[in-house]
A = this chain, B = another copy of it.
């Protein structure tokens, strides 16, 4: 697990052993994939026995579910704060994109696991995560629609544009490298500017 930000997201998980197991699971899933990882691998990474793991998590899927839920809830909370803020549509969209893109850079390891292993969730857990994803979509769609209604944005397809904005930010987790050319903050700034252009909030070249 790379960054301090990535570790900080699990700060609420107690006791310490349960938190160590979660971060070990994120690392193991990211490196080898969910299906190639055993609970023994995860316990070993956390410096614990498989038996100790079962005190905290009944199954490997429970670990994935916890990771996915925390990741989705944090991302959703951030987007809802942006959507609810007092700024105008352009300011709210910039806030949302800056935060969401930056989050996917800082939490790229967790985000990859969350995005690429959705299919491994149990049915009821997938349904729960899907509801969080729909709420995420609604938060951004609301900003885009408000911008269109206010005459600030010029967007022929609100749903399609919302999808593209979320997709652009999500894919940061795939290509971001901590030793790469751009910091998470710089990615956030670049993307906020590109998305404002995309919705026609800032006529190009001005």
Contacts and interface: CB of A to CB of B under 8 A. Distances in A.
Contact of A167 (B116, B171, B182): B171
Interface residues of A, number: 40
Contacts of A153: 204
A15 interface: no
Q: Which of A153, A167, A182 has the most CB of B within 10 A?
A: A167
Contact of A171 (B31, B170, B191): B170
A61 interface: no
A112 B197 CA distance: 29
Interface in A75-127: 112, 115-116, 119
A58 interface: no
A175 B162 CA distance: 13
A23 B168 CA distance: 29
Could you say how many copies of this chain the assembly holds?
2
A164 B197 CA distance: 13
Contacts of A174: 115-116, 167, 170-171
A55 B156 CA distance: 54
Given A167-B174, A174-B171, A193 B35 contact: no
B194 A164 contact: yes
A204 B170 CA distance: 25
A43 B201 CA distance: 53
A64 interface: no
A2 interface: no
Nearest to A174: B115
B160 A190 contact: yes
